[in-house]
Structure 1
């Protein structure tokens, strides 16, 4: 297992969760929400790819990719979203998810912990497909396996 840590981008001005719009100005904060999140926390990425996995092409920010993932609240471990082989446009995901996936290769698996500043920040998300609300200032955790890239039209039609 390889662990990669990235410093918080506090200074930077999945289907339910991953396809929701990115926070205004990528800060993770919504100026209409009176709650303000602590800017601390780091993006934490652990490579969980099984030994001997055959890897393919590198993922770019503009790719449409088939992903298998489960998103959980870091504080409780409660799953709020999961999908198998969901086609997603990487550019339409939260900044922390983009940073975790871009540059990886088809076939890789990662566990990524996303601090609020790289996720949804102070914005609360209503319950999604699994009936779990994402509270303001939540740290998110995803287990992700990167499948094949898909034609852009697959993601455009979603």
Structure 2
């Protein structure tokens, strides 16, 4: 078995150094572009909301909440005296998801003002995207993974809602069925 040697030309002096300098320059440029791209996302909430208001289908309320109907629901809308069963995903403008739940009960008056306002615009079965400005969310204070001054972006599905009174009545009925509460008007056993 024979091996044929192929003569290689020697690398010119300094070529390897120029190659590494070029690679480093490209890496720095890519890092700089990535950083600059993130700075655009981190632009002021007011600038984002102003630009977003002009997007197709986006409605801005008097309070500053922005929403887009993704799927229209049917029937009535919940009020502040109701508890809603919702599926939601909450994210920041950069796409970082801070909370998600496919089915969660929420008192309409027990959430941030922007989320409450958005829920009251929805109907059963509806799906909305909400952009909640800082003043209708957590304001300038950090809240767990949510930095102060953040616009909150929620995709929300309203599965159902009931009044708090209806829920209390259902709860009492369930307890009665399980033997946890006496029936209304029932007499205590003799001797008690």
Match of 2:109 in 1: 91
Match of 2:84 in 1: 65
Pairing of 1:73-152 with structure 2 (within 5 A): 73-74=92-93, 76-126=94-144, 133-150=145-162, 152=164
Relative contact order, higher structure (CA 8 A, sep 6+): 1
**TM superposition shift of 1:125:** 1.0
What is the CA–CA distance in structure 1 between the aligned matches of 2:97 and 2:57, rounded to whole Å? Answer: 24
Match of 1:45 in 2: 67
| CA 1:137–1:148: 2 relative to 1, 3 Å | same
Give per-residue Cα distances to partners, 1:103-153, cap 9 Å, x unaligned: 321111100001101100011112xxxxxx101111100000001114634
Gaps of 5+ in 1: 10-41, 127-132
**TM superposition shift of 1:3:** 2.6
Q: Which has the greater radius of gyration?
A: 2
What is the CA–CA distance in structure 2 between the aligned matches of 1:82 and 1:64, rounded to whole Å? Answer: 18
In the superposition, the TM-score normalised over structure 1's length comes to 0.64
Q: Which has the higher strand share?
A: 1
What is the CA–CA distance in structure 2 between the aligned matches of 1:98 and 1:113, rounded to whole Å? Answer: 12
1:5 aligns with 2:60: yes
Gaps of 5+ in 2: 1-55, 172-192
Which has the larger displacement, 112-121 or 99-108? 99-108
